[in-house]
Amino acid sequence: MSKFEELCYAYNYAHNQMSEYLEACVQFIQDLIAGMEVYLECPDKRIQHKNKMGEETSLKESMYLENEFWHFNTEITMCKETAYRRRAISFARCYYPRQTILLPFIMKRVTADLFVVGIDSYPEQFTIDVSDRSSFEAFYEFVFESIQTYYKNIFQLIMEHNESPKEIQLKYVENRF
């Protein structure tokens, strides 16, 4: 084998290794989000992925690697527009609870079956074993409680921040559970 062929072999090995890693991460995130959708009993088409610019994208386009964690912004649309919302007074800024909420998720693959997940900037992270479906539940319940706490405190958040925050952040829900 020539030196160049050895380099090509090394390149192909590295490429295959990264490709397998990326596909495993994407598959895990797809399973995580699908399971969250079932756990929260979301109607169809209420969960979307957003890139860093806030544009709706595919999951793969929304993912970016930073500090050893994959970041992927997931947006949940809470409720459809109703008559009471159409009667609401319009303002230049958003003073009503937002219909959509952005969840800045993070994920890191530890082993073939173990992943660490959380919400960006939250100190609490969850280890999920893909072979144990029950290991997902603590994370799903945490997401549920975070969203619920956010909306239970939305009036105070709007008053403190002069508008309705777009994204769930630790400072909006810490010490409020």
For CA atoms 133, 120, 123, 141, the dihedral sign is negative
Q: How far apart are the first and last CA of the chain?
A: 63
Query: Which one, of 147, 157, 155, 174, lies nearest residue 76 by Cα?
Result: 147
Which of the four pLDDT bands, split at 50, 70 and 90, describes residue 116? very high
Domain that holds residue 93: 3-173
pLDDT recorded at residue 126: 97
Q: Find the helix or strand (DSSP H, E) in which 149 lies.
A: helix 137-152
Name the token pair of 80. 């459809």
Q: Is the pLDDT of residue 57 over 80?
A: yes
Name the token pair of 63. 């993912």
Range 143-147 average pLDDT: 93
pLDDT recorded at residue 84: 44
Domain tally, the chain? 1
pLDDT recorded at residue 168: 74
pLDDT recorded at residue 161: 76
Name the average pLDDT for the chain.
87
Residues 40 and 6: beta-carbon distance below 8 Å = no
- The tens digit of pLDDT for each residue in 61-111 reads 999 999 999 999 999 988 765 544 555 556 555 556 667 889 999 999 999
pLDDT recorded at residue 172: 65
Percent of the chain whose pLDDT exceeds 90? 62
- The tens digit of pLDDT for each residue in 6-35 reads 999 999 999 999 999 999 999 999 999 999
Q: What are the Cα distances from residue 30, in Å, to 23, 39, 53, 136, 137?
A: 10, 14, 21, 13, 16
Helix (H, G, I), strand (E, B) or coil at 128: strand
- CA atoms of 173 and 176, how far apart (whole Å): 5
pLDDT recorded at residue 105: 97
pLDDT recorded at residue 97: 67
> Rg for the chain (alpha carbons), in Å?
20
